[in-house]
Amino acid sequence: MKILAIECTHGFASAAASNGERMVERRLAEWQKTAESLVPLVMQVMDEAGLTAAELDGVAVSSGPGSFTALRIGLSVAKGIAFGADLPLVPVPTLLAMADAAAKHTATKYIVPVIPSRAGEYFYSMFALKDGALSEIESSRCLVSELPERIAVLTGSLVMVSRPVDLLAEQAPSLAPYLFDASFFSAATLLSHACKSLAEGAAGTATGTLPDYRQAFVPAQRQG
């Protein structure tokens, strides 16, 4: 299938395009420039893959949770392309996609992807991995100090997938033995999920797809 994928929930933004025979992916080096750089990045991968929007079978986007601003940027670009070319839009849950990507790099009983939330907090999901299939045990948000207690209920080998791992290791040193850097997680990771959803007719629409914020946006209060 011919699919465009966009991922910019946290860490770095990326775009990938598959023309059915080969895949092209590019990443943004500067996170702060996502708003002005994402569209040119998408255009670049589309051009390198030899695709136009009209030729796509669908658009995939990492739907969150993640950075409030980054989710809005990524979904806005994905929706604009999908709506403009009348294409199905596939929202891919970010924590699930991270766990699925990690499963290809490690043999462990449990995979726990984590994503920064508010200061000192993380979104997380716990997945059991058996015979290559993932089953979700729990998904929530908690203080970083609570993460060791949350994963203590898992009996057996586990990895905690984060991007990057340095900050989490600094905040909770006891987690260091479990940390697995998710630098492999990017827009390309979403392509297999999107292909499956499109084949099954389970894709959504540009107007009906919403970001998975998992928290209310609270604007900063001005002092004075």
Tokens coding 14: 């990326």
* Whole-angstrom distance, CA of residue 82 vs CA of residue 52: 12
* Whole-angstrom distance, CA of residue 156 vs CA of residue 101: 20
Tokens coding 80: 């604009």
pTM of the model as a whole: 0.90
| pLDDT by residue, tens only, the chain of 224 residues | 999 999 998 878 999 999 999 999 999 876 666 778 899 999 999 999 999 999 999 999 999 998 888 889 999 999 999 999 999 999 999 999 999 999 988 889 999 999 999 889 999 999 999 988 999 999 999 999 999 999 999 999 999 999 888 989 999 999 999 999 988 999 999 999 999 999 998 888 887 888 888 765 444 455 54
Question: Beta strand 121-130 with 133-143: parallel, antiparallel or unpaired?
Answer: antiparallel
Domains and CATH numbers, the chain: 3-93+185-200 (3.30.420.40), 106-181 (3.30.420.40)
